[in-house]
Structure 1
Amino acid sequence: MDEITSSPAPDETPRRDRSTRSAALWATLVAVPVTAAVAGFTFAKFSPDEPAATPSASPTAVRPQSTAPVEMPAPALAERPATVCRALMSQLPASVRDLNQRPVTAGAEQNAAYGDPALTVACGGIPPLKVCPAPAATSTDQPTDGCLPATGDVWRVNGVCWHPVEEADGAVLTTVDREVPVRVRLPKAYEQPLQWVAPISDTIVATVPSAKTAPSGCSS
């Protein structure tokens, strides 16, 4: 007996094609936000564990900047700090965000300056802030007698622990987890001081060894 094969109705194939295309379109529309959500989760998961003040992208506006040398003191350094500071200065970036590096009046092997008004970087010649004994740690969060309470105000930026102090004309940030202290002074014109020390932190990590002790907040 001959096998009889039924043929599809004339309009069946076009209908199936339309249904297939419609299903694919819906699948694509659903997949796009799901993919975006997964990508966002992955970025957050693998981002460095840094404070909310982690530096953002450099501003696009170009500041007018002087190229005149910036006046800075250059205290005498012992051999070891001098060697470490020379390594730091030789590796500092040519600019910090939109601030170009400027010459200094003294101690180019231990001092650097950027922009106008000048953001300055001083290495060595700074008494290190040691961690205070336990009883003093509960009394205040500010340095006392040259020591910093274990619970003092410290912030990690790109692997470096900074202690910030607000002054009338700006802010001063000092490293508290490095063998040789590094101090950055920022004029009041530069808001959110922690955002400005990211590229400096990167160079410090590469050139200045860690100290043997640091405030407990530096390990978080």
Structure 2
Amino acid sequence: MLSTLTAIVLTVTATAQTSQPSASSAKVHGPGLYAIFQTNMGTVVCKLYDTMAPQTVENFVGLAEGTKEFIDSKTGQKAKRRYYDGTLFHRVIANFMIQGGDPTATGRGGPGYNIPDEIKASLKFDRPGRLAMANTGQRNTGGSQFFITHGPRSYLDGGYTIFGQVVEGQEVVNGIGRTQTGAQDRPVKDVVLQKVTIERVAE
């Protein structure tokens, strides 16, 4: 699945180390479901919108925790393991977004299936740190690839499912955005998503 990403259409296709909060840091942000992205450039905590985008969040959590079956992009075989750990942020555009979730790091990889869009008029790209699903430019073509924005991007409204919000570590997102990139906006030095941890904080 060939992916392209421009300043108008987002599709599937900073070097300083920062302190890394523990997974328990999600608790300070109140009850809810959180994804903790541990990267080689720092940690980002996102609150997941499991009531606004339940199918998207269920899919992301299942892939992250290794409970959801997928087709391995490299082997073509069915697999069930932690999908995101060790993958790269394969596309980075300064002052726009960082994109990950493709085990092949080509922009073409995915889980072997698509999920439906869950686009809500009440959720807009009106602030930094929106966590959203990438797609092919067509409806209902998300799978595993996601992006996190650097700032408001109203032209993305209505085109992509927003399923979370950065609540800690936006400076890490911005730092990744400043990394040097080469062909197809890929970082020259690998930005590794070392681990995604899902934390459930009770009332």
TM-score, length-scaled by structure 2: 0.26
Would you tell me which structure has more helix in proportion to its own residues?
1
Task: Give the structure with higher Rg (CA).
Answer: 1
TM-score, length-scaled by structure 1: 0.24
